[in-house]
């Protein structure tokens, strides 16, 4: 007998009902993955959770079971009623936010991906996954900004617009940069669908979204010591590099086929590591 997945709304409700505090949609997605509440996660589980809740708030209005208590942070109305202290001050205005179906400007990014984990060709596969258990995405067709590193040092910043990201990186394996870089990071503009497809560029970007996006890229790429938080919403769109074949290189730390850069600096809960 085939196993039928529970609906996304059902597993979201289950996770929120068991939490004593509101949760960011990325945390909801992680708990769904960890507890194996769904069999098929798609390529963008965090985005799917966000979309499911946001649609309900927008279309169901006061009948929606959810309340947005902060940017990207949600709770069940029934739980908030039982524990009003769980809602941060000022949260009553949070539900006026615009719907968050897709991430603003930067739709996906990868940090410190290893050059030697890519099988280079004119059309290399750049596989990444949002979370363990999610479907992989090939970012060859992505466009945006990328950085090349020699160890930790940024030695080149480039853009992929007329040619896709995979092609631009491949070109750097044969040009004057060929022997100078061992890692790369990238920030993509094209949306990623739940099935792992790369979409098309939006016709326009609101001006008020551009500055936060630029700030987020700089914070993520440079990791300034005094910035105690990541760029807005970028935590939800990072993809880990997925290895192809065995990881033989010295220093690679793999878990479930994902490469974890050993010197990736992070800030957590407002305090530096």
What is the number of other CB atoms lying within 10 angstroms of the CB of residue 190? Answer: 19
- Is 52 in contact with 9 (CB distance < 8 Å)? yes
pLDDT in tens, 133-159: 899 999 999 999 999 999 989 999 999
User: Which pLDDT score is estimated for 183?
Assistant: 97
Q: Which residue has the tokens 């491949």?
A: 170
Q: How far apart are CA 212 and CA 35, in angstroms?
A: 34
Whole-number Å distance between alpha carbons of 29 and 31: 5
Whole-number pLDDT of residue 205: 78
Each residue of 211-253: pLDDT tens digit? 878 888 888 888 787 766 655 556 668 899 987 653 333 333 3
Given 1.10.10, 2.40.50, 1.10.530, 1.10.1330, which CATH number is that of 8-96? 1.10.10
Rounded distance, CA 139 to CA 192, Å?
A: 9
Tens digits of residue pLDDT in 18-50: 999 999 998 999 999 999 999 889 998 988 898
229: number of Cβ within 10 Å? 12
How far is 202 from 205, CA to CA, in rounded Å?
7
Domain ranges, ordered by start, for the chain: 8-96, 108-272
DSSP letter, residue 249: S
Handedness of CA 232, 218, 109, 182 (dihedral sign): negative
CA distances from 96 to 22, 26, 99, 203 (A): 17, 21, 9, 25
Residues 6 or more apart whose CB falls under 8 angstroms from that of 218 comprise: 231
pLDDT tops 50 at residue 272: no
CA 96, CA 127: separation in Å to the nearest integer?
Answer: 37
The predicted model gives 179-195 an average pLDDT of 94
The whole-number average pLDDT for the span 42-63 is 90
Tracing tokens 């590099």 back to the chain, one arrives at 241
- The span from the CA of 240 to the CA of 234, in Å, is 13
118 or 271, greater pLDDT:
118
Residue 263 tokens read as 């010197």
Q: H helices within 61-180, ranges in order?
A: 77-82, 165-171
Q: Within a 10 A sphere around the Cβ of 235, how many other Cβ atoms?
A: 16
Q: Which two tokens stand for residue 227?
A: 């910035």
């Amino acid at each position: 007998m085939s196993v039928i997945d529970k609906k996304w709304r059902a597993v979201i409700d289950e996770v929120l009902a068991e939490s004593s505090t509101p949760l960011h949609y990325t945390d909801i997605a992680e708990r769904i993955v960890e507890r194996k509440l769904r069999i098929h996660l798609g390529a963008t589980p965090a985005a799917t959770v966000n979309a499911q809740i946001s649609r309900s708030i927008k279309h169901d209005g006061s009948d929606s079971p959810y309340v947005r208590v902060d940017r990207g942070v949600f709770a069940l109305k029934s739980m908030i009623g039982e524990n009003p202290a769980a809602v941060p001050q000022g949260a009553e205005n949070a539900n006026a936010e615009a719907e968050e179906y897709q991430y603003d400007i930067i739709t996906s990014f990868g940090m410190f991906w290893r050059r030697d984990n890519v099988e280079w060709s004119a059309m290399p596969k750049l596989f990444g996954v949002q979370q363990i258990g999610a479907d992989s995405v090939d970012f060859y067709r992505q466009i945006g900004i990328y950085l090349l590193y020699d160890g930790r040092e940024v030695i080149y910043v480039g853009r992929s617009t007329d040619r896709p990201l995979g092609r631009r990186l491949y070109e750097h394996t044969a040009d004057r940069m060929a022997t100078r870089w061992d890692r790369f990071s990238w920030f993509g503009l094209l949306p990623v669908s739940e099935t792992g497809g790369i979409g098309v560029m939006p016709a326009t970007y609101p001006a008020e979204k551009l500055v936060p996006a630029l700030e987020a890229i700089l914070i993520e790429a440079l990791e300034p010591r005094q910035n105690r938080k990541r760029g807005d919403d970028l935590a939800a769109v990072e993809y880990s590099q997925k290895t192809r074949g065995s990881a033989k290189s010295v220093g690679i730390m793999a878990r479930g086929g994902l490469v974890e850069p050993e010197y990736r600096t992070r800030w957590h809960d407002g305090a530096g590591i």
